[in-house]
Structure 1
C-alpha cells in the first residue's frame, strides 16, 4: 500500500538525509530524483517509495525496527560521553532521524546479544512493559558452581533483589552444566539477571541475550544488524 504524501524536504529531513534547506541544492545536483523522473521541488508532496537519493531507495520510513547483535563494549545510550554507542554501528544519518531511534530496553556494556531498536514510541513502550510478559532468554556463565536450588528460587516468584521491595516475577532456569545456564525472564529490571544470581550468592562473568519473544539472532555476527518487519513483533508481544 503506498504511503501517504508529505513535503519532500520534510520527508528527507525526518529521515536524516539532509537539512530541509539543503534539498533545493541537492535537487539541482540530481542527488535527489523521482523514481519516474518527474520534476520535483522542495515543497512537492511525495510518497516515500517515489524518491531516490543517490539513485537508491530511501531508508525505511518511520516505524522502522532494527534487530542488532550487540557486541560487548558498547552502551545503549545517546550520550557520546559514555563511550562506544550501539548507534555508532548504524549508518550515521540514522542518528539524525526524527523521531529518534532508541533501544527497546537496554543491555549493559558487558552484555552481548539480541537488541531491538525502533523509532516507534508506542511499540517501544509495548515491548518494554512488564504487563505484556515478553519472554527474553539469557545465556549466563557463572563464577561459581550452582548450589542446586536456584531454579526453584527463581521460579517461585518470591526472590527480592537488593534495594527493591517487589519480588521478581517467576523465571525459568535451564542448567547446561554447573557454571553455564540459560534464564528466561519476562521483566526488564536494571541488571536483572546479574542481580538475581548475586541474590543467590553467585556472580555472572559473561552474559548474552539469545532471544526476545519469538526473535533470535540467526546468523548475525556481533556488530551486525538487519531491519525487520514490525509485523514479526506482533508474535513477540
Structure 2
C-alpha cells in the first residue's frame, strides 16, 4: 500500500491533503527520517508528528459513553464522534457503533469498522448478552422478573414478543437487566409497560467483556484481540 493511501484511509485527510501533509515533513519513520510519497517502511514504522499511526482496519474500540451524546451524526447536538480524534470520522472504512445507546443512556459502547464483527455482536444468536444497570423513578412491584423472562412480553406497537430477559432487583428502585437483543429503547419501554420510569440507564457489559474500570466517562481505548474473543466466550 502506498503511504498516501494508508494515511488517507486512516483519516488524515483526502489524498490531496495527505500529499500536502507528507510534503510538510511531519511524516517520518520510527527513527525520525522524513518520508516521501514513495517511501513506505511499513505502517508500524510510520509516524505523524512523532505519533504512531492508529491500527488499520479491522478496528474495534470501547468507549464509556456519557449522557447527552448521540450515536448518529444525523442527530442534532454532540455525538460520540466528538469524543474521538477528528480523523476517526474520516476513516475508510468508517467506524460505526455496535448497537446504539440513546442520548440519555451511558456506559459501554463498542465501535468498529468491521461489518461482520458488528453483525455478530448484535445478532441475538451470538450469545453476546447486554447487561444494564437501571435506576427507577418508582419502587419495583415484584412482577418484573417473571414478566421480563416470560418470552411472551410484548412491547406497545410491536407484534413480536421479546426474547426472555434476565432481571435482578438490586434495591427498591434499582435493578440489573440482561438482554439477548437490542430493540429501540428496549429497557426504557419494558419498565414503562410496568408503569415505571427509568431515571438512569447504564450498559455495563456486552458478552464476556465488562466496561473497563479505568475508562472515565467520555474516554475510549482500542480493544485487544483477547477482549474480542471474550465477547463471544458464551458463543
TM-score normalised by structure 1 residue count? 0.91
Partner of 2:207: 213
Q: Which runs of 4+ in 1 moved over 4 A?
A: 36-40, 43-46
Deviation of the 1:231 alpha carbon: 3.9
Partner of 1:236: 231
Total equivalences in the alignment: 231
**For residues 125 and 75 of structure 1, what CA distance do their matches in structure 2 show?**
20
* Structure 1 gap segments, 5+ residues each: 1-5
The alignment partner of 2:187 has SS state of helix
Mapped pair 1:90 → 2:84: yes
**For residues 34 and 219 of structure 1, what CA distance do their matches in structure 2 show?**
31
**For residues 134 and 100 of structure 1, what CA distance do their matches in structure 2 show?**
23
Partner of 1:114: 108
Partner of 1:155: 149
Q: 1:115 to 1:24 in 2, by over 3 A?
A: closer
**For residues 59 and 111 of structure 1, what CA distance do their matches in structure 2 show?**
28
* Structure 2 gap segments, 5+ residues each: none
**For residues 88 and 12 of structure 1, what CA distance do their matches in structure 2 show?**
21
User: More displaced, 172-181 or 39-48?
Assistant: 39-48
Task: Check whether the contact 1:32–1:52 (CA below 8 A) recurs between aligned residues.
Answer: yes
Q: Please point out which of 65, 68, 93 is paired with 1:70.
A: 65
1:186-205 map, 5 Å: 186-205=180-199
Partner of 1:54: 49
Partner of 2:30: 35
Deviation of the 1:46 alpha carbon: 5.0
Partner of 1:170: 164
**For residues 114 and 188 of structure 2, what CA distance do their matches in structure 1 show?**
29
The alignment partner of 1:82 has SS state of coil
Deviation of the 1:36 alpha carbon: 4.9
TM-score normalised by structure 2 residue count? 0.92
